Amino acid sequence: MIVREEFLSRLRKIFDLNLYEVRVWTALLSRGVSTAGELSNISDVPRSRTYDILESLEKKGFIIMKLGKPIKFVALKPEEVVERVKKNLVVEAQAKSKRLEQLKGDEVLHELTSLFTQGVKFVEPSELSGSLRGRQNMYNHLDMMIRDAEKTITIVTTTEGLNRKLEALMLSFEKAKKRGVKIRIAAPINSSNMKIAKELGKVAEVRSIDGFKARFAIIDSEQLMFMLLDDEKVHPNYDVGVWINTEFFARALEQMFELAWQRFKPLSKVK
């Protein structure tokens, strides 16, 4: 069986399989029904590992075991595999989410929090900084910053970035507003994202910026998060952000933003 390594690599990423799993699966797909020994020969997977791999694929919903001797394995239609994998992922995610939710009142979380609280006492605020790789990680961290905000949230983003903020952060924005936090968002606004801007306008003061492209957030004039790359030119997985806990720099940047804010257009004046 000859299958391009590039194709196998794509399958591994899409279905979250290891190299042996994807080799055995594609080998079985090419035969329809086969024994472990045959699949070992076709896929170049060691015979000692083949049964374990087949058992793993069976649990994940990729194949089924045929009754009888010798034991044979049956390939499922790829469309059926996709549906089964989707359902398994949902069930697994729900189970993990439930376990994490139960931690809220568990002594494990109290102990972890105690460890963190004790450790952070010995850390200078300026040392609480780091880089964030991948847009999802960046939004997770930004969401945490917003949930901890007490006074102000200042965000400057791009046209597409405004759309992402609604989807990823709206719930946290709503909760922040109820706490009395002042929220301001600036972004290029046009016909493509006017609806999004108006929706965000329910929880924040939103203004349009022209000829100015930046991506950063300032929380309580203490924490700063800024993105290093142009979101139009970088894949989300390779996006990079920097988080800094620095009152001096954050306050200075917010003061400069304050001057520019007065020149940004309110939504009522955007055509």
pLDDT value of position 164: 92
Confidence check: pLDDT of 128 > 60: no
CA distances from 140 to 6, 137, 147, 165 (A): 31, 5, 11, 11
Same domain, 129 and 82: no
Q: Is residue 96 in some structural domain? A: no
Residues in CB range of 30: below 8 A, 6 or more apart: 1, 42
Same domain, 143 and 213: yes
The domain boundary, picked from 48, 75, 90, lies at 90
The domain boundary, picked from 90, 113, 145, lies at 90
Q: Is residue 138 in some structural domain? A: yes
Query: How many other C-beta atoms can be found within 10 angstroms of the C-beta atom of residue 181?
Result: 19
Same domain, 171 and 52: no
Q: What is the CATH number of the domain that holds 127?
A: 3.30.870.10
- C-alpha 155/C-alpha 145 separation (Å) is 12
Same domain, 51 and 175: no
For 229, phi and psi rounded to 5 degrees?
-120, 160
Range of the domain at 36: 5-90
Q: Is residue 115 in some structural domain? A: no
- C-alpha 225/C-alpha 130 separation (Å) is 10
- C-alpha 138/C-alpha 135 separation (Å) is 5
Same domain, 86 and 127: no
Query: Where is pLDDT greater, at 122 or 270?
Result: 270
Q: Is residue 100 in some structural domain? A: no
Question: Domain total for the chain?
Answer: 2
- Site of tokens 């139960």: 102
Q: Is residue 97 in some structural domain? A: no
Confidence check: pLDDT of 120 > 80: no
pLDDT in tens, 156-198: 999 999 999 988 999 999 999 999 999 999 999 988 899 999 9
Please give the model's pTM, rounded to 2 decimal places: 0.62
